[in-house]
Protein backbone atom coordinates (compact mmCIF):
# COMPACT_ATOMS: atom_id res chain seq x y z
CA UNK A 1 0.00 0.00 0.00
CA UNK A 2 1.54 3.34 -0.99
CA UNK A 3 0.50 6.57 0.64
CA UNK A 4 0.85 9.42 -1.90
CA UNK A 5 0.37 12.00 0.89
CA UNK A 6 3.69 10.94 2.33
CA UNK A 7 5.63 11.66 -0.85
CA UNK A 8 8.11 14.21 0.42
CA UNK A 9 11.74 15.33 0.26
CA UNK A 10 13.05 13.70 3.45
CA UNK A 11 11.61 11.00 5.66
CA UNK A 12 13.14 10.93 9.13
CA UNK A 13 12.62 7.84 11.27
CA UNK A 14 12.95 8.40 15.03
CA UNK A 15 12.33 11.67 16.90
CA UNK A 16 15.09 11.50 19.53
CA UNK A 17 17.78 14.19 19.56
CA UNK A 18 19.19 12.83 16.26
CA UNK A 19 15.90 12.79 14.35
CA UNK A 20 14.62 16.13 15.71
CA UNK A 21 17.91 17.87 14.82
CA UNK A 22 17.56 16.39 11.31
CA UNK A 23 13.97 17.71 11.07
CA UNK A 24 15.01 21.22 12.14
CA UNK A 25 17.88 21.31 9.66
CA UNK A 26 15.67 19.98 6.83
CA UNK A 27 13.04 22.66 7.51
CA UNK A 28 15.74 25.36 7.49
CA UNK A 29 16.74 24.15 3.99
CA UNK A 30 13.08 24.40 2.83
CA UNK A 31 12.89 20.60 2.44
CA UNK A 32 9.47 19.01 2.88
CA UNK A 33 9.91 16.69 5.85
CA UNK A 34 7.95 13.84 7.41
CA UNK A 35 9.02 12.52 10.79
CA UNK A 36 8.00 8.99 11.80
CA UNK A 37 8.07 8.27 15.55
CA UNK A 38 6.90 5.11 17.32
CA UNK A 39 6.71 6.50 20.87
CA UNK A 40 7.70 9.94 22.25
CA UNK A 41 9.35 12.99 20.76
CA UNK A 42 12.68 13.33 22.56
CA UNK A 43 13.48 9.59 22.56
CA UNK A 44 15.80 8.61 25.43
CA UNK A 45 15.95 12.21 26.65
CA UNK A 46 12.57 11.61 28.28
CA UNK A 47 14.24 9.18 30.72
CA UNK A 48 17.35 11.18 31.70
CA UNK A 49 17.17 13.02 35.03
CA UNK A 50 20.58 14.70 35.01
CA UNK A 51 22.61 15.94 32.05
CA UNK A 52 25.92 17.77 32.21
CA UNK A 53 27.48 17.45 28.77
CA UNK A 54 25.04 19.24 26.47
CA UNK A 55 25.73 22.85 25.51
CA UNK A 56 23.05 25.33 26.54
CA UNK A 57 22.90 24.83 30.31
CA UNK A 58 20.47 21.91 30.14
CA UNK A 59 20.34 20.15 33.47
CA UNK A 60 17.95 17.31 32.57
CA UNK A 61 16.98 15.31 29.49
CA UNK A 62 13.28 15.87 30.15
CA UNK A 63 13.81 19.65 30.02
CA UNK A 64 15.55 19.35 26.63
CA UNK A 65 12.86 16.91 25.38
CA UNK A 66 10.15 19.48 26.23
CA UNK A 67 12.07 22.09 24.21
CA UNK A 68 12.25 19.70 21.22
CA UNK A 69 8.50 19.06 21.44
CA UNK A 70 8.01 22.85 21.26
CA UNK A 71 10.40 23.13 18.28
CA UNK A 72 8.48 20.47 16.37
CA UNK A 73 5.09 21.97 17.23
CA UNK A 74 6.31 25.25 15.82
CA UNK A 75 7.55 23.58 12.60
CA UNK A 76 4.31 21.67 12.23
CA UNK A 77 2.28 24.85 12.84
CA UNK A 78 4.18 26.43 9.95
CA UNK A 79 3.57 23.31 7.80
CA UNK A 80 7.31 22.77 7.45
CA UNK A 81 7.28 19.26 8.93
CA UNK A 82 4.63 16.63 9.59
CA UNK A 83 4.62 13.86 12.14
CA UNK A 84 3.39 10.30 11.63
CA UNK A 85 2.98 8.41 14.89
CA UNK A 86 3.93 4.86 13.80
CA UNK A 87 6.68 2.24 13.91
CA UNK A 88 8.81 1.74 10.81
CA UNK A 89 10.02 -1.78 9.99
CA UNK A 90 12.06 -1.36 6.82
CA UNK A 91 13.80 1.14 4.59
CA UNK A 92 14.84 0.62 0.95
CA UNK A 93 16.85 2.81 -1.38
CA UNK A 94 16.21 3.05 -5.16
CA UNK A 95 17.76 5.17 -7.93
CA UNK A 96 15.04 7.79 -7.69
CA UNK A 97 13.54 7.44 -4.17
CA UNK A 98 13.49 5.74 -0.80
CA UNK A 99 10.65 3.75 0.71
CA UNK A 100 9.95 3.32 4.41
CA UNK A 101 7.51 0.57 5.38
CA UNK A 102 5.42 0.86 8.56
CA UNK A 103 4.12 -2.01 10.71
CA UNK A 104 0.64 -1.78 9.14
CA UNK A 105 2.12 -2.23 5.65
CA UNK A 106 1.89 1.44 4.61
CA UNK A 107 4.78 2.43 2.35
CA UNK A 108 6.00 6.03 2.63
CA UNK A 109 8.14 7.43 -0.18
CA UNK A 110 10.59 10.32 -0.30
CA UNK A 111 13.69 11.56 -2.07
CA UNK A 112 15.83 10.48 0.88
CA UNK A 113 15.68 9.13 4.43
CA UNK A 114 17.49 9.71 7.71
CA UNK A 115 17.22 6.80 10.14
CA UNK A 116 17.77 7.74 13.81
CA UNK A 117 16.11 4.90 15.69
CA UNK A 118 18.77 4.67 18.41
CA UNK A 119 19.38 1.59 20.53
CA UNK A 120 17.21 -0.74 22.64
CA UNK A 121 18.02 -2.45 25.93
CA UNK A 122 19.94 -5.73 26.22
CA UNK A 123 18.70 -8.57 28.36
CA UNK A 124 20.65 -11.55 29.72
CA UNK A 125 19.92 -13.71 26.65
CA UNK A 126 21.76 -11.14 24.51
CA UNK A 127 25.01 -11.55 26.50
CA UNK A 128 27.75 -14.16 26.17
CA UNK A 129 28.81 -13.95 29.83
CA UNK A 130 25.56 -14.47 31.75
CA UNK A 131 22.81 -17.07 31.91
CA UNK A 132 19.43 -16.87 33.67
CA UNK A 133 16.00 -18.56 33.62
CA UNK A 134 13.51 -17.41 30.96
CA UNK A 135 11.40 -15.53 33.51
CA UNK A 136 14.34 -13.48 34.82
CA UNK A 137 13.40 -9.92 33.85
CA UNK A 138 14.88 -7.46 36.34
CA UNK A 139 13.93 -3.76 36.27
CA UNK A 140 16.32 -1.30 34.65
CA UNK A 141 18.67 0.59 36.96
CA UNK A 142 17.75 3.89 35.30
CA UNK A 143 14.01 3.47 35.98
CA UNK A 144 14.68 2.72 39.67
CA UNK A 145 15.07 5.36 42.37
CA UNK A 146 17.34 4.93 45.43
CA UNK A 147 14.20 4.88 47.64
CA UNK A 148 13.13 1.66 45.82
CA UNK A 149 16.32 -0.19 46.86
CA UNK A 150 15.64 -2.78 49.56
CA UNK A 151 18.53 -4.78 51.02
CA UNK A 152 21.61 -5.83 49.12
CA UNK A 153 21.19 -4.94 45.46
CA UNK A 154 23.17 -6.29 42.51
CA UNK A 155 23.46 -4.37 39.25
CA UNK A 156 24.15 -6.49 36.16
CA UNK A 157 26.58 -4.60 33.92
CA UNK A 158 28.34 -1.23 34.15
CA UNK A 159 26.91 0.48 31.09
CA UNK A 160 27.03 4.31 31.01
CA UNK A 161 23.56 5.00 32.43
CA UNK A 162 25.22 4.05 35.76
CA UNK A 163 27.23 7.30 35.78
CA UNK A 164 24.17 9.38 34.88
CA UNK A 165 22.12 7.64 37.57
CA UNK A 166 24.78 8.27 40.22
CA UNK A 167 24.91 11.99 39.26
CA UNK A 168 21.10 12.20 39.34
CA UNK A 169 21.15 10.97 42.94
CA UNK A 170 24.36 12.66 44.03
CA UNK A 171 23.14 13.46 47.55
CA UNK A 172 21.56 10.05 48.24
CA UNK A 173 23.19 7.32 50.31
CA UNK A 174 22.91 3.70 49.16
CA UNK A 175 25.15 0.80 48.31
CA UNK A 176 25.17 -1.06 45.00
CA UNK A 177 27.11 -4.19 44.04
CA UNK A 178 27.96 -3.79 40.36
CA UNK A 179 28.74 -7.00 38.44
CA UNK A 180 31.19 -6.01 35.70
CA UNK A 181 31.98 -8.29 32.73
CA UNK A 182 35.37 -7.80 30.99
CA UNK A 183 33.82 -5.74 28.18
CA UNK A 184 32.47 -3.15 30.66
CA UNK A 185 35.72 -2.72 32.64
CA UNK A 186 36.57 0.63 31.00
CA UNK A 187 33.10 1.98 31.81
CA UNK A 188 33.36 0.80 35.44
CA UNK A 189 36.66 2.67 35.70
CA UNK A 190 34.75 5.94 35.01
CA UNK A 191 32.66 5.51 38.18
CA UNK A 192 35.06 3.51 40.36
CA UNK A 193 35.72 6.51 42.67
CA UNK A 194 32.11 6.59 43.84
CA UNK A 195 32.17 5.03 47.31
CA UNK A 196 28.51 3.99 47.01
CA UNK A 197 29.61 1.26 44.58
CA UNK A 198 31.19 -2.10 45.21
CA UNK A 199 32.66 -3.23 41.87
CA UNK A 200 32.73 -7.00 41.21
CA UNK A 201 34.80 -7.86 38.08
CA UNK A 202 33.57 -11.20 36.68
CA UNK A 203 34.17 -13.60 33.80
CA UNK A 204 30.84 -15.41 34.00
CA UNK A 205 27.55 -15.12 35.91
CA UNK A 206 24.90 -17.82 36.26
CA UNK A 207 21.60 -16.84 37.82
CA UNK A 208 19.19 -19.48 39.06
CA UNK A 209 15.94 -19.42 40.97
CA UNK A 210 15.97 -20.54 44.58
CA UNK A 211 13.16 -22.52 46.24
CA UNK A 212 13.66 -20.87 49.67
CA UNK A 213 14.48 -17.44 50.99
CA UNK A 214 15.76 -14.84 48.55
CA UNK A 215 14.53 -15.80 45.08
CA UNK A 216 17.75 -15.43 43.08
CA UNK A 217 21.12 -17.21 43.37
CA UNK A 218 23.88 -15.38 41.54
CA UNK A 219 26.91 -17.56 40.93
CA UNK A 220 29.85 -15.41 39.94
CA UNK A 221 33.09 -16.68 38.39
CA UNK A 222 35.85 -14.17 39.05
CA UNK A 223 39.01 -13.47 37.07
CA UNK A 224 40.88 -15.92 39.33
CA UNK A 225 38.29 -18.63 38.35
CA UNK A 226 37.02 -18.66 41.94
CA UNK A 227 33.27 -19.13 42.19
CA UNK A 228 31.14 -17.28 44.75
CA UNK A 229 27.36 -17.48 45.14
CA UNK A 230 25.19 -14.64 46.42
CA UNK A 231 21.51 -14.85 47.35
CA UNK A 232 19.34 -11.80 46.77
CA UNK A 233 15.89 -10.56 45.87
CA UNK A 234 17.21 -7.37 44.26
CA UNK A 235 18.81 -7.38 40.82
CA UNK A 236 18.81 -4.45 38.38
CA UNK A 237 19.51 -4.51 34.63
CA UNK A 238 22.26 -2.20 33.40
CA UNK A 239 23.56 -4.49 30.64
CA UNK A 240 23.63 -1.91 27.90
CA UNK A 241 22.06 -1.58 24.54
CA UNK A 242 21.69 -3.03 21.05
CA UNK A 243 21.07 -1.20 17.79
CA UNK A 244 17.44 -0.75 16.64
CA UNK A 245 18.26 -1.29 12.96
CA UNK A 246 15.46 -1.24 10.40
CA UNK A 247 15.33 -4.06 7.85
CA UNK A 248 17.12 -3.01 4.69
CA UNK A 249 19.95 -1.15 6.44
CA UNK A 250 23.51 -2.42 6.01
CA UNK A 251 24.86 -3.50 9.41
CA UNK A 252 28.37 -4.06 10.73
CA UNK A 253 29.52 -7.01 12.85
CA UNK A 254 28.11 -5.48 16.02
CA UNK A 255 24.73 -4.75 14.40
CA UNK A 256 25.34 -0.98 14.03
CA UNK A 257 24.62 0.89 10.79
CA UNK A 258 27.51 3.15 9.71
CA UNK A 259 26.13 5.83 7.42
CA UNK A 260 28.87 5.33 4.80
CA UNK A 261 27.68 1.75 4.18
CA UNK A 262 24.13 2.76 3.27
CA UNK A 263 22.40 3.47 -0.05
CA UNK A 264 23.21 6.97 -1.37
CA UNK A 265 19.71 8.19 -0.43
CA UNK A 266 19.84 6.84 3.15
CA UNK A 267 21.76 8.40 6.07
CA UNK A 268 22.02 7.15 9.65
CA UNK A 269 22.20 9.51 12.64
CA UNK A 270 22.62 9.22 16.41
CA UNK A 271 23.24 6.10 18.50
CA UNK A 272 22.43 3.71 15.64
CA UNK A 273 25.70 4.60 13.87
CA UNK A 274 28.13 3.10 16.36
CA UNK A 275 28.60 2.16 20.02
CA UNK A 276 31.32 4.80 20.27
CA UNK A 277 29.50 8.09 19.95
CA UNK A 278 26.35 7.52 21.98
CA UNK A 279 25.75 10.98 23.37
CA UNK A 280 23.03 13.60 23.04
CA UNK A 281 25.30 16.21 21.46
CA UNK A 282 26.70 13.81 18.86
CA UNK A 283 23.17 12.58 18.03
CA UNK A 284 22.11 16.17 17.37
CA UNK A 285 25.23 16.94 15.32
CA UNK A 286 24.94 13.80 13.22
CA UNK A 287 21.21 14.38 12.58
CA UNK A 288 21.86 17.88 11.27
CA UNK A 289 24.87 16.70 9.26
CA UNK A 290 22.91 13.81 7.70
CA UNK A 291 20.43 16.25 6.18
CA UNK A 292 23.11 18.70 5.05
CA UNK A 293 25.05 15.92 3.33
CA UNK A 294 21.92 14.77 1.47
CA UNK A 295 21.17 18.35 0.46
CA UNK A 296 24.67 19.07 -0.86
CA UNK A 297 24.86 15.75 -2.71
CA UNK A 298 22.32 17.30 -5.11
CA UNK A 299 20.36 14.09 -5.40
CA UNK A 300 17.48 14.22 -7.82
CA UNK A 301 14.03 14.55 -6.13
CA UNK A 302 15.35 16.25 -2.99
CA UNK A 303 14.46 19.88 -2.63
CA UNK A 304 13.76 20.53 -6.32
CA UNK A 305 10.46 22.24 -7.06
CA UNK A 306 8.69 23.01 -10.33
Pick from 238, 234, 226, 237: nearest CA to 202: 226
Considering beta carbons, is residue 199 or 249 the nearer one to ligand FAD? 249
- In angstroms, the Cα distances linking 26 to 125, 239, 293 are 39, 35, 11
Largest Cα span, the chain: 75
Element (H, E) at 187: helix 185-191
CA angle 178, 179, 184 (to 5 degrees): 100
Interface region with ligand FAD, contact rule CB under 6 A, candidates 2-10, 203-211, 247-255, 270-278 = 270-278
How many C-alpha atoms does 138 have within 13 Å on its Cβ side?
28
Residue 87 interacts with ligand FAD (CB under 6 A): yes or no: yes
Considering beta carbons, is residue 164 or 237 the nearer one to ligand FAD? 164
Binding mask 213-252 for ligand FAD (x = CB under 6 A): -------------------------------x-x------
- In angstroms, the Cα distances linking 287 to 84, 178, 180, 305 are 18, 34, 32, 24
In the list 34, 48, 266, 299, the residue contacting ligand FAD (rule: CB under 6 A) is 48
Distance CA 55, CA 77 (A): 27
Total of chain residues touching ligand FAD, rule CB under 6 A: 36
Q: How far is the CB of 254 from ligand FAD (least distance, A)?
A: 16
Q: How far is the CB of 161 from ligand FAD (least distance, A)?
A: 3
Q: Which of residues 153-172 bind ligand FAD (CB under 6 A)?
A: 161, 164
In the list 7, 29, 47, 146, the residue contacting ligand FAD (rule: CB under 6 A) is 47
Q: Which of residues 271-300 bind ligand FAD (CB under 6 A)?
A: 271, 278-281, 283
Give Cα 63 to chain centroid, integer Å: 18
Give, rounded to a whole angstrom, the gap between the first and last alpha carbons of the chain.
27
Q: Which of residues 93-112 bind ligand FAD (CB under 6 A)?
A: none
Considering beta carbons, is residue 39 or 70 the nearer one to ligand FAD? 39
Distance CA 165, CA 162 (A): 5
* Binding region for ligand FAD (CB under 6 A): 13-19, 36-40, 43-45, 47-48, 51, 53, 87-88, 116-118, 142, 161, 164, 244, 246, 270-271, 278-281, 283
Amino acid sequence: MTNPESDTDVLIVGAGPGGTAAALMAASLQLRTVLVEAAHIGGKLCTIDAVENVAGNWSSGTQLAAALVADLEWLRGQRRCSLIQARAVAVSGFDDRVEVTLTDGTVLTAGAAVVATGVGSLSVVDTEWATAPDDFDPPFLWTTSPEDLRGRTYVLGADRPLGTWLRSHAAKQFHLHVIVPPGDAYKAAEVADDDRLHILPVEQVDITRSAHGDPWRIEVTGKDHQRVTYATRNVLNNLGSKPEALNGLQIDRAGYCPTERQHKRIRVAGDLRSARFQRIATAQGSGAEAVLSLFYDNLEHIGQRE
